[in-house]
A = this chain, B = another copy of it.
Amino acid sequence: MMAVLFQKVAILGIGHIGSSLARVIRQRGLAAQLVTYDVSAVHRLKAMELSIVDAAFDSLAEAVKEADLVILATPVGSYADLTAAMAPDLMAGAIVTDVGSVKLAVVRDVGPVLPEGVHFVPGHPIAGTEFSGPESGFAELFQGRWCILTPPSGTDEAALAKLVALWEAAGSMVEIMEAGHHDRVLAITSHLPHLIAYTIVGTATDLETSLQQEVVKFSASGFRDFTRIAASDPVMWRDIFLNNREAVLDVLQRFHEDLTALQRAIRWGEGDKLQDLFTRTRAIRRSIIDARQA
C-alpha cells in the first residue's frame, strides 16, 4: 500500500488499459474511491464482478462528480464529446488525463473544452496487448514500460507531479515530451507497424478460401506475428489513424520509398543490397534487447 494520491478517481472506459490501471490503483491503494463510466452494460457488470472498481456508472456526471482525477480511456475519437459532456460536472482543481495513442489531436479536442481551474495533463502509456475489454487487463501491464506525458506549456506543476507519481506507482518510467514530437515518434514505432500489419493480414483475407486456409496453417513462418498486431481493437485504431494523419502519411511515404527500392533490388537480383540492409537491421534488434524493451 502506498499513500493515497487521489480522493476519487474516475476512469472513463473500462477496457484493456482502463481496467489495467484500475487494478494498479486498487492494488496499490492509490485512491480512496475508484469508479468507472462505460457505455457498455457488459463492461460495467464485468468491472463490478472483477471487483476492480467501487462503482460502475452509465451516468458520466455521476462518475466524474467530486473526482480529483478523471482518466479518459476510451478511443480518442470519443474524447471531444465526452469532455464537452462532463465539463459542467468537473470539480474545480480536478486533474483530467488520458491514455490515448495520439497527443496533438487530444490537446486540440480536450484542452479548450475544459473549464477554468481544471488541470489537463495528456498521457500515453506505451503498453498493451492485442486483447480488449475489462477482463483482459492486468496490474503488471505497465511495469518496466514507458509512459509519455505531454503537458501543454503552463501546465500546473503539482498536477503534473501527481500524474508522474501515479505512473511510477504503476511501475512505469515517465518521459515528458512535446505533443507533436510524441505523434511523430509513435507514427514510426506504433502506427506504421500496425498499419502494415493490418494491410498484410488484409491482403491474406482477400485470397481465395483454399489458399487462405494454407496461410493459416503455415502462419508460423512469419505471418502469425503480424496477425497478433492486426487483432488489436478496430475502433481504437481507426481513431488513431484519423487523428494522426499527417505524421502517419509522412512516415508511410518513407516506407513506400524504401519498399520500392527493395522491390527493385529483388527484381534485378541485387543480392548485395539485400544482404547489406538485412545486416543493418540486426543491429537495432540488439539495441532493443539492450534497452530491455524486447
Contact = CB atoms under 8 A, between A and B. Distances in A.
Interface residues of A, number: 94
Nearest to A291: B216
A82 interface: no
A29 to B, nearest CB: 27
Contact of A249 (B266, B284, B288): B266
A193 B203 CA distance: 11
B248 A202 contact: no
A287 interface: yes
A218 B269 contact: no
Given A193-B222, A216-B287, A222-B190, A199 B271 contact: no
A278 B220 contact: no
Given A199-B255, A256-B259, 13 more contacts: A126-B221, A184-B211, A188-B211, A190-B221, A193-B221, A193-B226, A195-B259, A197-B222, A202-B277, A216-B287, A216-B288, A242-B269, A252-B263
B228 A204 contact: no
